[in-house]
Structure 1
């Protein structure tokens, strides 16, 4: 019974992450009646009439239930309410962040300051009181920038076309990340250090993970890998694929991507897997983290400026239904945190039930083991409001200030932890709990919100036959009719409700509201683990679950059958979806497995069918180590130890002994003779992988490491069967002594421009001769300009180089067209070279279809980087909006 319920919880959680949403300010295909051409580009939504034809309809930016709720919660002073609401109805300005660890960081900063900033201010000086583009004052190092343009304006305004193309291109190659400003805040409060192990519990789609990777790489010494490591986790496989694609732009060997429910993230404690043997205490190993980012799934009402359809879908039940899951995830994060470590809890919701109530429950459970930090002195230019110390809970049209006021038949829905009194713990009510997304709480308030929009009275009765209600609780069905209170008799006026203050220092929490700095809304709390937590305290959220019957669990997952709520109305959004770093066609590719997509999809269907049929024990089998150490549908992580192949690679490229290879190479294929790709992992990742093997493969690893070598077949008979990967070249370049050429800027430019050039056609005849003399196969071409000697290139981590293929008569580049175009523009700007036009190509310089060219499909279209054909509606909507 328990196993069946856990399967349901995971499926419910994943289903809510996949729900679609119309989360954009769109331009309709046809204007409203009487509107001039081009008028009203913002604030519209595309609709369909009864015949399925496209029709115009405005996004509603009104929701009486929303206003009533947040006025009652007093998240801002009453005199600021009109400013608050007016800002919520405006589209969100575009923001982006520069990757300070990228090779062209200084060039991009210079281009922004000297080119785009000046041109945009000149072009739009009369239209904006503030700067058209400016750095965010609170983000360190002027790395984050704010635009006084919405995403729609960026796409529509011709004067912004070149800047928009710049943003898209640099985002795709990883030099910048388009991300909502407030979404950048939580990682900054982690205070990441160069040697930290970091866990991002709910990481997809990956903007914050990318930000953490930037931090650890920026802190490392030039040319060396950092000692730090990031484990990025997400519950949904498709969202993991999206996460992998986004973080691949970083080209890092310090990342592990896992696929687990955050609240059940596995512990890797070697002492528990030592087969009873006595071990020296100093040799005990366990996976713990110095920093944990707990950016939990939430109702997402802080994203209303970016996702205007939230106005229609919002209801108070969304936050009530997610509260328990949020507590579970946060408590698991604390359990995985080292003593002295920091955990940041954050949401993109303004709801105190999802914010202060969760933090208060964490403090209540952990006692003196965890401290809520006062970080008001950090990021002083970030305007933030203190957390609330008192709030109320709204349920079925009624307000409750204390748990004693909650009717008995609703006490399993409205738990003591949702309220500020601090008198109760979750122990008393967990025995009658529910799945983490409490459908009863969501549905009741959804109907209430809908009725408020229609002008009906706020209060609701509990007559299911008349109102379509569905308490979904056994307690309600057992109550006699005279025991069920008439909720319409309770006052809905929140001012008459008695409330209590929390006795925890919740004012140390932060709530960012939109009208302070023209942003979205966010909530952040920073906690520190002072001493070890009681294991029973941390685990009691999970162990005190109530075992639902199969029919009740199915009913909760599928939604109440009597409510007639359209599919998608109960959508709950994952916090990470607010990040603007996804481009078209990149929704959910990149799972780093060498098994075919068909096989993975087939196995996924089997798992889904088993779950739907309620087969007991299926989930338990999946949680145990699989045969050959494999998780179902995920290739194992294998340390690559084929000495003959490694010797061949080292000899062919002349790799120095100072570059550590032993223990750092992994593959996803246990058959060494058929390995297609070899990945490099940092020492910190290596240690975690070794621990994971010892404890029985408890981590479900979907991606890790940096692709450094790739099998390459050609007709030229290269002595080495593995070529260098462009992703790992920067890591390996200082250690290569063979198969390397040094080109002038003009010849380097021509290679990027024409991609294939015959040896006699290089302007530098000596370079052509040197290229011809190389062994057939993969080689490296480094840019000679900017270095006093050739030796300095090998020791300069910022040296520019590309992977090429040396054939019988020509040299061919092996970088993707997108990366080649970006690199071409960078060196042209840096060295003042003129980009040649296509008409300037000399006969014979460009060779198409030459037999001497290797198969480059693996570089330009990596099978691991191809998005799957099926993706969630939410991902597709987000992708089209972000970079269209």
Structure 2
């Protein structure tokens, strides 16, 4: 359900008769736009009112809030210096620009930091995404969100979705697994926490898994914005996720036990009604019952992969206790004290929530409610299972289900969400043995039987290009190391390419731990992506080295680059370079300050690192991949990164800050003028029909 994609036409080629240029009869489209969806479902209301998911006096407010659109939110990311500067921009110029341009007939802007998110790095607007796109007063806000999201300095993420990574308590040395990671907003947040100490290559890592091959590539896009060498994306059914192995100091192989696991399982999603209103029409009481089994299996597999002393967060965007507390109760009862619920009620001061439910009814598809399994009608006994019922009153203290967190939409204008934090205090009561699914075995056999290295479509996705790590004496690396005077502590064996033969176009960097995982597990684990781009082939006759430094991996390799290829640049010169968007006419070196001229005087042509640092309490440090030409100097930056840096430096971004409303009006004016002159107008809404 939902709106058709922009540009969709009912007379598209797949709706035409073959060989006929005449427009065929319009095909009836039964889909409804979100604005036409009736946000009512009597069974939904009856179900949750009977279950008592909130206080009786709050229930009407609870239902009403689910029928309103969700406000827009975002998080500020990046290193401490950049995050501090971005916070200043949000609190200052961004809000001022929006407030100053708000007109009487437009919705007033209300933007505020989430009180429970650390360091005011998460913000909520009393505006929907539709409002931001619709009103001209917010075009600068819209441009800001787009450019900074693409650069990776902010993440547009729903408020409640930010909670699971925070309560997971990730540290830079932790081995972290995200079991159901796509589309990747929580994975990105986990990576931010992993790099929280501003260490470019922490010893820990994040393994992001998803069962859907196509969604894995969405996950890759999210992870790439963070430019981390400590993440790998894999593609497996999380309920039967194979064990991963690593190499111990003595050379033996040992099973990886994760310190932190995020288990954000597939769910009915009725907590997302505010952004997915089509669920109003689809919702039934059977949704939760049908998902309870797979949710439990995923959580149990996560518990098996968790190290003793480690934590696992189970979360859903569902309101249904069958998908939430019932799953937690079941896993606690089946693991015989190996897991215990952690009380995180004081972990995020200012967060409004309700405690987990300790008693609930189980309903059939027809909303026949049952208090115990003994009461269940025989016709439902195969779908409603004993494990879905709450603990007996005398056992409630044993499970502490009230330690779970329930966030309801009316409490702080968010979506609905469920979070439970479990700690593993001992091994599970079953033997935790390696688990490899039949699907994995089949893939391994098919992979070994093929000699082709090219990416080919398969039923379960694409066969990925190989991950080819550098050897001790890699000819390409010798040239790079010599040209950039790379320090010896840098381990070139952590560099990789995605081809066995031919010229190496891109060279990627991983951490030592991620390299070991990929090398050790390539036979059993389907790796989709890993590594951050560190060097890019740049065949230039004036350059002694065939590779330039890539901005993506610059922060990771910067400490190892020799000082000879580093240029400290004043703010004014850096702004000059950033404002130049014509690579054919880069700023001449003689036009820059004497400070820069002296530094590059003896610098041979080729790639270099441009450095800017503010002298403040929270210094802003900027490293950019630059190019020293024969007589010029420029920086390698894409458009969004350029806008981001100009914004940080206080430069002029007016030529990038396009008012799409004014642009539309200008185009309409031109069209009207053409029409007045008798000229024909062609646009997407005009279809040329054959004679």
Scaled by the length of structure 1, the TM-score of the pair is: 0.65
CA, structure 1 residues 178+745, in 2 after alignment: closer, same or farther (shift >3 Å)?
A: same
Q: Does 1:814 align with 2:636?
A: yes
Q: Does 1:637 align with 2:615?
A: no
Residue aligned with 1:738, SS: helix
Does the Cα contact within 8 Å between 1:656 and 1:737 map onto a contact in 2?
no
Q: 2:546 aligns with which of 721, 731, 738?
A: 721
Scaled by the length of structure 2, the TM-score of the pair is: 0.81
Aligned to 1:177: 155
User: Residue 163 of structure 1: CA displacement?
Assistant: 1.7
Aligned to 1:650: 481
Aligned to 1:709: 535
Aligned to 1:70: 48
User: Residue 118 of structure 1: CA displacement?
Assistant: 4.9
Q: Does 1:402 align with 2:378?
A: no
User: Residue 701 of structure 1: CA displacement?
Assistant: 1.3
Q: Does 1:686 align with 2:515?
A: yes
Residue aligned with 1:368, SS: coil
> What do the CA deviations read for 1:709-740 (whole angstroms, capped 9, x no partner)?
122223x2522122111111222233332333
Aligned to 1:667: 497
CA, structure 1 residues 127+121, in 2 after alignment: closer, same or farther (shift >3 Å)?
A: farther
Does the Cα contact within 8 Å between 1:183 and 1:208 map onto a contact in 2?
yes
CA, structure 1 residues 356+236, in 2 after alignment: closer, same or farther (shift >3 Å)?
A: same
CA distance in 2, matches of 1:116, 1:787: 24
Does the Cα contact within 8 Å between 1:287 and 1:688 map onto a contact in 2?
no
CA distance in 2, matches of 1:128, 1:68: 38
CA distance in 1, matches of 2:111, 2:257: 41
CA distance in 2, matches of 1:413, 1:200: 29
Q: Which has the higher contact order (CA 8 A, sep 6+)?
A: 1
Map 1:101-120 → 2, pairs under 5 A: 101=79, 104-118=82-96
Q: How many residues align?
A: 623
Q: Does 1:244 align with 2:216?
A: no
User: Residue 836 of structure 1: CA displacement?
Assistant: 8.8
Q: Does 1:826 align with 2:655?
A: no
CA distance in 1, matches of 2:654, 2:600: 23
User: Residue 25 of structure 1: CA displacement?
Assistant: 14
CA distance in 1, matches of 2:58, 2:615: 58
Q: Does 1:333 align with 2:306?
A: no
Which structure 1 residue ranges, 5 or more long, are not aligned? Answer: 1-20, 30-47, 272-278, 424-498, 544-616, 789-795, 839-884
Q: 1:417 aligns with which of 376, 387, 398?
A: 387
CA distance in 2, matches of 1:225, 1:269: 21
Aligned to 2:659: none
CA distance in 1, matches of 2:142, 2:246: 51
> What do the CA deviations read for 1:184-204 (whole angstroms, capped 9, x no partner)?
011111111221111010111
Does the Cα contact within 8 Å between 1:120 and 1:132 map onto a contact in 2?
no
Aligned to 1:855: none
Residue aligned with 2:642, SS: helix
CA distance in 1, matches of 2:266, 2:429: 26
CA distance in 1, matches of 2:529, 2:357: 40
User: Residue 295 of structure 1: CA displacement?
Assistant: 0.3
Aligned to 1:518: 413
User: Residue 692 of structure 1: CA displacement?
Assistant: 2.5
CA, structure 1 residues 539+171, in 2 after alignment: closer, same or farther (shift >3 Å)?
A: same
Aligned to 1:432: none
CA, structure 1 residues 375+764, in 2 after alignment: closer, same or farther (shift >3 Å)?
A: closer
Which structure 2 residue ranges, 5 or more long, are not aligned? Answer: 10-24, 456-461, 657-691
Aligned to 1:350: 319
Aligned to 1:548: none
Residue aligned with 1:663, SS: helix
Aligned to 1:582: none
Aligned to 2:347: 378
Map 1:301-320 → 2, pairs under 5 A: 301-320=270-289
Aligned to 2:574: 748
CA distance in 1, matches of 2:504, 2:100: 55
Residue aligned with 2:172, SS: coil
CA distance in 2, matches of 1:760, 1:619: 57
CA distance in 2, matches of 1:54, 1:326: 30
CA distance in 2, matches of 1:685, 1:161: 41
> What do the CA deviations read for 1:76-113 (whole angstroms, capped 9, x no partner)?
12211111111111111111111152652121111122
> What do the CA deviations read for 1:127-151 (whole angstroms, capped 9, x no partner)?
9999811111111111111111111
